[in-house]
Chain A
């Protein structure tokens, strides 16, 4: 209930009472930004893996052959960098690490076993999501920096072969790690039902927010009336423009 320093409700979040309660989580532009990032990350993984292991070289066929894979991969990387920069600027404040996050993480086993209620109440993002966010941020910086070093077509003259060797090794390791972070991210979204609609329709149900981000929901409800007013007539719960229950 408190609106203390932990307050991490964002301006565009909103709660619409009804049955079920609908909670706005992501704006349309945040979603577009997310899916551009997602698409480029997947394309980068596919084209990168083609050049990473011989048994995956066939993936270069998806991009029109080895030459085109080699050409397009760094450009998609540039797109990802700027797209993720957009996400970073949107989400970084809500992802700052709080004392409760360490506490929540200590209950990691409970959470994985489906006993989230034993862990502290969570704000807009839980500790796992924050770790994904910061891992992605750091890894993308490593990947773009090392990627530029090994982008021979334009930048081969600026570094020595010794530096390029380190860059290509770090690039490969960072890529492996980020693919694992991606697996965790995607798996969590699938495992925790009702999550994906946050990134497709932009909203979640009140029950989802209560179950997984109770502190965020409490703060939203306790927040200024502007944030919690229903968009249209409060009582017409079933006709809320596309906001029907998930299942």
Chain B
């Protein structure tokens, strides 16, 4: 088994990362720190998950959220979707394997993937509302959030949710506050089967490789690691029994990437838009300087007076 996350030390500890470790900050330019912290990752082994929802409970407890009570709609999924108060959700899929005709119960713990290239951060217009630390954690800073919902449009995984209470966006923080003092995420701590494990990204990849070998030896020949390159890899990874078809796991995207529409909006439109407005204003100024004002001449006034039949008279 993977060595479990140690219990906290008793004396208080200074956070191990913070503002100085930002590699990205929404709507801002930051100078990345000279030294990057060791990249961390959470590995979710779907093949070991028993669907107990201890992770959901731990998440609710640690983050002190109160997801609303809902009614049973014929699925174990509860609540029905990620909400501003439920940062992680077990998604249950009953899938019939066409090759073996076995019913497979696929349970995927959904939540923020902590992309290396985060679409939410790219879309965010509020400086510092979304930050990425050099260890890979993508975090929302609520006092800077304006509640516009652009992060929802930027996210390739449909994760952020806007709270109707304080109008800011919420999602999994990868327990950045726990990780800062050497702890693992609450969900990983609570998982009874070690389907959720926590460590450095390299350790997690090695661990996943062992798990994939094991799964292959059991006949899951397409077992593999979900660490999608389209978003530069993620800091939450899955071991999937059927890595060739991630979409069977409650629509996990096969090749997630920041939507080209979002790229166009936050790329060429942003820069070209400002440039065009600047050029338009400058053209007006230059025209004014070259052509001068277009004034009505006394002859024009006289012509109008003649037309209206008023005889030109002296004053």
Contact = CB atoms under 8 A, between A and B. Distances in A.
Contact of A70 (B147, B280, B294): B147
A17 interface: yes
A51 B125 contact: yes
Contact of A52 (B273, B284, B298): B273
Contacts of A152: 148-149, 152, 162
B310 interface: yes
A52 B270 contact: yes
Contacts of B294: 114, 116, 191-193
Given A179-B277, A207-B300, A168 B265 contact: yes
B280 A184 contact: yes
Given A205-B301, A207-B296, A176 B146 contact: no
Given A112-B287, A192-B294, A193-B293, A57 B126 contact: yes
Interface in B144-184: 144-150, 152-153, 158, 162, 167
A172 B270 CA distance: 8
A85 interface: no
Nearest to A180: B280
A91 B152 CA distance: 40
A13 to B, nearest CB: 14
A9 B315 CA distance: 32
B127 to A, nearest CB: 6
A221 B287 contact: no
Given A21-B301, A180-B280, A210-B300, A69 B146 contact: yes
Interface in B271-315: 272-274, 276-277, 280-281, 284, 287-288, 291-298, 300-305, 307-310, 312-313, 315
7 contacts: A19-B315, A20-B305, A114-B294, A169-B261, A206-B307, A207-B301, A246-B296
Interface of A: 15, 17-21, 50-54, 57, 60, 65-67, 69-71, 112-114, 116, 150, 152-153, 156, 161-162, 164-166, 168-169, 172-173, 175-176, 179-180, 183-184, 187, 190-194, 205-211, 217-218, 221, 228, 246
Interface of B: 27-28, 125-127, 144-150, 152-153, 158, 162, 167, 259, 261-262, 264-265, 269-270, 272-274, 276-277, 280-281, 284, 287-288, 291-298, 300-305, 307-310, 312-313, 315
